[in-house]
Structure 1
Amino acid sequence: MPVAQEESVAPASRARSKPGSKPGPRPRVGRDFVAALARAIAEGRFAEGSTLPREQDLCAEFSISRTVVREALKTLESKGVVRSRARAGTLVRARADWNLLDADLLDWMGDTVVDAAFLSAVLEARRAVEPFAAELAAERATLTDIAALNAAWETMRASERGHDAAFTAADAEFHRILLRASGNLVFAQLSAVIDAALTRALDRSNSSVASHLEAVAVHGRLVEALRMRDGKAARAASEQMLDTAARDLKRLVRDRQG
């Protein structure tokens, strides 16, 4: 499948500099190319284990400079997608080596990597962490934490009949706050690491249902459990959220297959 050429860069970035001034930067060129190359790899144009075309060939194909190509390859190498080998070119690494929690990769590769297997893996990770984090939060959350969690829940409730993007943004914020409210430093760090993946998983789950009333209700029960310092109820509410997410994932997969 053809990859977007440099010609897709916004015309404003091609404007000529005024006489006597230095040429201005074209910031989108490099970012557009690395995104296009990442998509091409994810879609299988450049298969795992294969060697990418030579720099000069990529320059010719996409009408870009060697500097742009080299920076793009460095970016993808830092994210585990490719590996440069002396005198042997650039190798496409196995998908298992890609940093699929990276927000840039998820943006560039989209549905190619955010598939059923990825969503299932995110759900399994949440099952391992969130119920215990909720139980800890019932004991450790500050009044400020609970107020922030309630504010996120109120936004979810206000967005329930609105746009899915607004609801998902509030839903993701709710889960960020919950992990931080656990008082566990590792969970708090994990929140930042998985944030992009969690947001995309919530987006897929939320977009698969016609109504968010059930989600709003169970999130509200978790907030109330924290107010009451009821760890058992907090864990139960978290587990119900995850059971609902699993059901929605099954529906999503079934609908895509059908």
Structure 2
Amino acid sequence: MVLVRTLSPTIAYPVPLLNPPFRTHLAVRCCNLSSQRQTQLHSRKLVLEVKEKLAKEHYSLPVGRNGRDDEDMILWFLKDRKFSVPDAIFKLTKAIKWRQDFEVSKLTEETVKVAAQTGKGFIHEFLDINGRPVLVVVGSKHFPQALDPADDERLCVFLIEKALSKLPTGKEQILAIIDLRGFSTENADLKFLTFLFDVFYYYYPKRLGQVLFVDAPFVFKPIWQLVKPLLKSYASLVRFCSAETVRKEYFTDETLPSSFRD
């Protein structure tokens, strides 16, 4: 408070001041909201710019969900390319064309039935403790010569699509568990492992939150040394761990995959 003097020099009256922190807090909050709003408007502007360019320059691409006018997909690829419009368009057109050629929209439980029956890959019924859908690959059940590689690739993409469809609100990434218990040289498939990471990098960017290589045997190490340089930044997502780590750090007793129960 301050003292206000009257005409008489001997009398002073206390006068309370307004609380400065209140004004400061309000100003900071308004500034944050304004900044957030500006970011949203800028993102929206770039989405529309990409959408317009795709319509003019790549009009033959399909429209609709996961098509050239899918604004959610456009925004995702803009984020992946640090909001560079040319880079986002380049990667996005490649992804949309791939989805069209691969016929992703036609993949069903029936079309991947043969490969799925091997048990080599599936989506776990529960989320992990971080709220992520879980894709499980069982290395010991994969025999490269047993099926047409295209069947394995279709199963892989079908499972990724299924995992993404299970994303809770506010979640954006999935967890991949590569179970290498019982893995041997006859299960080795460098081509398929490269395909798996390529699919995530080019067509599902930043959807893979982490990859767990569980109980990798000695024979897997040379394969990893060959594929690691090809993965670039995705190699940092890989964690070699034990089945015990999976049990303790990624699931509860109720949500643990049955294959990891004692």
Shared topology, TM-score over 0.5?
no
TM-score of the superposition, structure 2-length normalised?
0.27
User: Higher strand share goes to which structure?
Assistant: 2
Greater Cα radius of gyration, structure 1 or 2: 2
User: Higher helix share goes to which structure?
Assistant: 1
